[in-house]
Amino acid sequence: MTIRNKMFTAAACVALGLCGAARADIKGSVKLDGKPPEMPEIKMAAVAECAKQHKDPVFEETIVAGDKGELANVIVSLKPDDPSALGGEVPKEAAVLDQKGCQYVPHVLAMMVGQKMVVKNDDPFQHNVHSQSSTNPPFNFGQPNKDDGKEVESPKAAETYKVKCDVHPWMGAWVAVFEHPFFAVTGEDGKFDIKGKVPEGEYTVVFWHEKLGEQTGKVKVDADGNGTVDFTFKAEGTTGPTENPAEPKLASAKTEGTTVAASKTMSCCEGEKSEATKTASAK
């Protein structure tokens, strides 16, 4: 390569942001094995201001699965013995919980301890944002009109809790707080992408779903910080934990997760408590 070509390559590297450490990701997908239960329609007709926000019927988001089992709203995270050993920094961008069409967007929000959190209201009418956190400072306030973002106190400890609206009882979202930045939430295609480089090695991966529970798999991360792990929940798990857990199978480049017992099950229903999340009793 000539000196001129080397200079051109270096300049392109800087311009495209490709210099420095190679991009590292832990990627994969989560599927539901079996027919998903039919989600009840949310009855908004009694609240005209909410109903007119939607042309089509709106359904609960407890289980959102595609035609091929693609499972959305699953939180995928690494579970190290020592979170500080993973490295990583608190994300600079805020974690945003929005209210749009009398629904929380996203339905499941993952963030890190110390990360800024903002609550928005895209609806031109009253909402109430009531967190049921017990470890972190709870918040409970009204947003009477459109609001581009009200900042709430950043979480100080790992916790998973529910957020509800006292004005519209069907509205609910989940917030999961981690001590490290290596987590992601599956999209409607069931895929996830945990960004950021972690040390080479084998890691426990936690798959959390509000109805299917919390289950685990394994992933091997190479020297470049890349790894792949796929996982499958059994549809019958929607009725409760599975008996006789099976250990997920581990492959060197890719781990095919198998269904294991839901050791911690989050209920979708208001007022219920689980072993994984203790909701605040005060309202």
CATH classification code of 24-256: 2.60.40.420
Q: Where are the alpha helices (DSSP H) in the chain?
A: 3-16, 48-51
How far, in Å, CA of 59 to CA of 253, rounded? 38
pLDDT, tens digit (0-9, with 9 covering 90-100), for 13-51? 444 434 434 457 999 999 999 999 999 999 998 899 999
- Which region, left, alpha or beta, applies to residue 17 given φ > 0 means left and ψ of -120 to 50 means alpha? left
pLDDT band for position 282 (50/70/90)?
Answer: very low
Question: How do the domains of the chain map onto residue ranges?
Answer: 24-256
User: Could you tell me what percent of the chain has a pLDDT over 90?
Assistant: 70
DSSP 185-248: E--TTSEEEEES---SEEEEEEEEETTTEEEEEEEEE-TTS-EEEEEEEEGGGGGSPPSS--PP
Mean pLDDT of 93-103: 97
pLDDT, tens digit (0-9, with 9 covering 90-100), for 198-254? 999 999 999 999 999 999 999 999 999 999 999 999 987 554 333 332 333 332 233
Contact (CB, 8 A) for 177 and 167: no
pLDDT at 110 over 80: yes
Q: Which two tokens stand for residue 180?
A: 């490290």
Q: What is the pLDDT of residue 243?
A: 32
pTM reported for the whole predicted model = 0.77
pLDDT at 278 over 90: no
